[in-house]
Amino acid sequence: MQKHRIAVIAGDGIGPEVIAEGVKVLKRVAELDGGFEFEFDEFPWGCEYYLKTGRMMPENGIDILKDYDAIFLGAVGYPGVPDHISLWDLLLTIRKSFDQYVNLRPVKLLKGAPCPLAGIKREDIDMTFVRENSEGEYAGSGAWLYKNSPNEVVIQNGVFSRHGCERIIRYAYELARKEGKTLTSISKGNALNYSMVFWDQIFKEIGEEYPDVSTYSYLVDAASMFMVKDPARFEIVVTSNLFGDILTDLGAAISGGMGLAAGANLNPERKYPSMFEPIHGSAPDIAGQGKANPLATVWSASQMLDFFGHKEWADKLIDIIEELMVEAKVLTPDMGGAATTSEVGDAVVFKLG
């Protein structure tokens, strides 16, 4: 029997609440299929672990994770530990160490999902964001000079390598070609006169290899306006690390909310494990109350199944999410329901059969 070994990092706040439902759903899928199984190993890393040990994960954490087939992550970060420590020492370290340079984030208005935009047809919101996930504004390059003195200076560098830009842009072109969709690049070459001019140049260069793919190029400020006013313009979208972070929260807002937005951090070469996670954070404002929506996590479980080649199950989970939202009987408060996190997870399991 095919076995998928999964490292589970539930993390902080609502992370453990939503991940419990994701694991429940994946276990049931494997049981029903009968041809594959999951082995889940849970790691209690995160902010509580930090407060006890002074580290977000053990020193050999990356070494421990490297032989897993995938990582299933809830959320990281909690008041009491500075965010730049909790995120850099766990989530961002994993993305970088395992060269998960593709962050694939669907922004699709599923049937039944709430949408705050007026006059928009459901099928108008159907995008896939290909976010650069290894460098750019998140390279972690900079300095803090003359700290705590009146001459204090901070420098945060954006790092855009040819290798890094080419591979993410090529991935996006391949996806657009495979799916027969248009490709939009989002950048900011008018103000960021080195990094984004370079990005735009590489977008054009690689495009010469893909004459069959229609392309658009927008500045990020205009793109954010069009995502709200005319989202149908966007199909496959490729953008930098920071722009992709911001625009996918905007994407979440127009396609059902943070409780429904999923993401996959992929190492396409499969040399290292890929990581699947909802894109939301630890939501301290609702943590521990059973209010967290686990559907984003279920969607990221669907992305994991797809990545492992179980496409029918991946699609089945999306169908079930849609059914739950259309029926609107078992939903969490963010979607106007009164169900708890685990009731929604149970409803998904029930619908699986």
Contacts to ligand NAD by CB under 6 A? 14, 18, 75-77, 83, 87, 91, 258-259, 277, 280-286, 292-293, 296, 334
In this structure, the number of other CB atoms found within 10 A of the CB of residue 66 comes to 14
Q: In the complex, which residues of this chain contact ligand IPM (CB under 6 A)?
A: 87, 91-92, 245, 279
Helix (H) or strand (E) holding 196: helix 195-207
d(CA 144, CA 335): 43
Nearer of residues 130 and 192 to ligand NAD, judged by Cβ: 130
Q: Closest approach of Cβ 295 to ligand IPM, in Å?
A: 17
Nearer of residues 239 and 297 to ligand NAD, judged by Cβ: 297
Q: How many CA atoms lie within 13 A of 48 on its CB side?
A: 12
Size of the site for Mn ion (CB under 5 A): 1
Cβ 318 vs Cβ 294: under 8 Å: no
Does position 21 bind Mn ion by CB under 5 A?
no
d(CA 207, CA 177): 11
Say which entry of Mn ion, ligand NAD, ligand IPM, none residue 335 contacts (CB below 5 to 8 A, set by partner kind): none
Do the bridges between strand 215-219 and strand 183-187 make them parallel or antiparallel, or are there none, so unpaired? Answer: parallel
Nearer of residues 87 and 159 to ligand IPM, judged by Cβ: 87
Q: Closest approach of Cβ 75 to ligand IPM, in Å?
A: 8
Q: Closest approach of Cβ 114 to ligand NAD, in Å?
A: 12
Let me know if 217 is exposed, middle or buried by CB neighbors in 10 A (0-12, 13-18, 19+): middle
Say which entry of ligand IPM, Mn ion, ligand NAD, none residue 285 contacts (CB below 5 to 8 A, set by partner kind): ligand NAD
Instruction: Calculate the CA 220 to chain-centre distance.
Output: 19
Nearer of residues 195 and 300 to ligand NAD, judged by Cβ: 300
Q: Closest approach of Cβ 3 to ligand IPM, in Å?
A: 28
Residues 242-271 touching Mn ion, rule: CB under 5 A, are: 245
Say which entry of ligand IPM, Mn ion, ligand NAD, none residue 139 contacts (CB below 5 to 8 A, set by partner kind): none
Q: Which of 62, 118, 69, 63 is nearest to 94 (CA)?
A: 62
Angle at 183 between CA 180 and CA 188, to 5 degrees: 175
Nearer of residues 229 and 329 to ligand NAD, judged by Cβ: 329
d(CA 288, CA 284): 8
Nearer of residues 24 and 310 to ligand NAD, judged by Cβ: 24
Binding positions for Mn ion, rule: CB under 5 A: 245
